[in-house]
Structure 1
Amino acid sequence: MRTNRFSNALLAILSAMLLNSLPAQAQDMPTVNLVIRNGHFVPAILEVPANTKFRLVIKNEGPGAEEFESVELRKEKVLAPGVTSFLIFQPLKPGTYKFFGDFHPETAQGQMVAK
């Protein structure tokens, strides 16, 4: 029983240490912003750092739901109107990657350029 309490206390301490280190790591990560407005991505061309893990913050300012999707990048995120969310990208090789929105496929088109 005493060993069990010690194990639980140790687990709690280690968990707290891990959780306290996560925000610092996230704050150090480059952030790129993208807005979805009236079925369009703003900006339509995003420049992101190549070979660097980064966060993409997406805000849907439109009146309806919209999606960020990229087959090449294997990422997708559906956002309700007025919602802001994010995706974490592992380091990308230099190049251009297309993304789109399923709810407005004719206008919600964009490119991510890793430099």
Structure 2
Amino acid sequence: MNVLLAVGLSLLCFSLPSVAEISARTIMSLTLNDSGFSPTELTAPAGKKLLIRMTNRSSRVAELESYDMKFEKIAPQGNTVSVFAGPLRPGKYRFFDDYSISGYSGWLTVREE
């Protein structure tokens, strides 16, 4: 039993990004409330890895999703979730709350430095 636990923990450690990898990312913050995202547009440098943190301050469960950046994460009320993206090329990338019937969405604009 102890061997299985050790193998499981070592696999988990190898699959998670290290503290150094996370600190090398550009960190961006979003809030979702009952009227949508704040801010509705983020800006990031091209070619950088990103960590996007969203705090759900709405009155319901939400899902931060982006087809363009290939992520989706369920965000319970009052919680903060994190997603990884990039490095990205210059352009506009849409993100949205997939659970919103109002179609809440925003944009990440990636620019050359």
Equivalent in the alignment of 1:74: 70
RMSD: 2.4
Equivalent in the alignment of 1:108: 104
Matched positions, count: 100
TM-score (norm 1): 0.75
TM-score (norm 2): 0.77
**Bigger Rg, which one:** 1
Match of 2:37 among 41, 45, 51: 41
1:25 aligns with 2:21: yes
Q: CA 1:95/1:60 → structure 2, altered by over 3 Å: closer, same or farther?
A: same
More strand by share: 2
Q: Residue type of the partner of 2:48?
A: T
3-state SS of 2:31 partner = strand
Mapped partners of 1:54, 1:73: distance in 2: 10
- Name structure 2 gaps, 5 residues minimum: 1-10
Q: Residue type of the partner of 1:33?
A: S
- Name structure 1 gaps, 5 residues minimum: 1-14
Mapped partners of 1:82, 1:88: distance in 2: 20
